[in-house]
């Protein structure tokens, strides 16, 4: 999973937290519990999605739009402002690639995952192709807790 900025190593976080605790509490360190979040489970999840449409907005438009059956409101809320870039695997990897705008299925105009920085996907990608969105083990199921726009929340399977 890629972020807008490089992510420091876990040790750097630990050192910064421990340093701040020492400055504020000296030798009287409080018991501290830290929730590791994505660092522990982020790579444990994969979302299987399907391409529901490949189109261009107009005949003279060079921009290809690829719509999936999942979007921001179905669990991928962290793509807001393109802050996180999930790796996507397709059955057509190895074919010629071309940047595209990647969007979700709802009628909400905000349901666009990657537009400012188009996502490279195979030009041969077509309706019905299944894609795997990797690195989705953190927060995605909780973000999809309601049936927004009539789309059912993500089903999750724990192995």
Q: What is the pTM of this model?
A: 0.81
> Are 25 and 63 members of one domain?
no
Say how far apart CA 31 and CA 1 lie, in whole Å. 32
From first to last of the 159 residues of the chain, give the pLDDT tens digit.
666 677 788 788 889 999 999 999 999 999 988 877 777 788 889 999 999 999 998 888 889 999 999 999 999 999 999 989 999 999 999 999 999 999 999 999 999 999 999 999 999 999 999 999 999 988 888 888 788 888 888 888 888
| Cβ 49 vs Cβ 133: under 8 Å | yes
Its domain, for residue 81, covers 42-150
Whether 157 is covered by a domain: the verdict is no
Cα–Cα distance for residue pair 71/105, rounded to 1 Å = 6
Domains in the chain, number:
2
If asked whether residues 6 and 77 sit together in one domain, one would say no
- For residue 155, being part of any structural domain is answered with no
Same domain, 108 and 141: yes
Residue 31's alpha-carbon distances to 18, 34, 54, in angstroms, are 12, 10, 53
Domain identity same for 87 and 50 = yes
Same domain, yes or no: 16 and 52: no
């Amino acid at each position: 999973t890629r972020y807008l900025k490089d992510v420091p190593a876990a040790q750097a976080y630990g050192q910064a937290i421990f340093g701040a605790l020492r400055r504020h509490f000296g030798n009287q360190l409080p018991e501290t519990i830290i929730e590791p979040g994505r660092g522990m489970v982020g790579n444990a999840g994969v979302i299987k999605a399907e391409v529901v449409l490949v189109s261009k907005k107009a005949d003279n438009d060079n921009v290809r739009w690829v719509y999936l059956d999942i979007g921001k409101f179905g669990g991928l809320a962290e793509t807001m402002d393109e802050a996180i870039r999930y790796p996507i695997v397709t059955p057509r990897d190895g074919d010629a690639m071309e940047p595209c705008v990647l969007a979700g299925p709802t009628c909400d105009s905000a349901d666009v995952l990657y537009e400012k920085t188009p996502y490279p996907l195979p030009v041969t990608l077509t309706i019905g192709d299944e894609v795997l969105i990797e690195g989705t083990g953190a927060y995605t199921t909780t973000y999809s807790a309601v049936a927004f726009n009539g789309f059912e929340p993500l089903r999750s399977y724990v192995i």
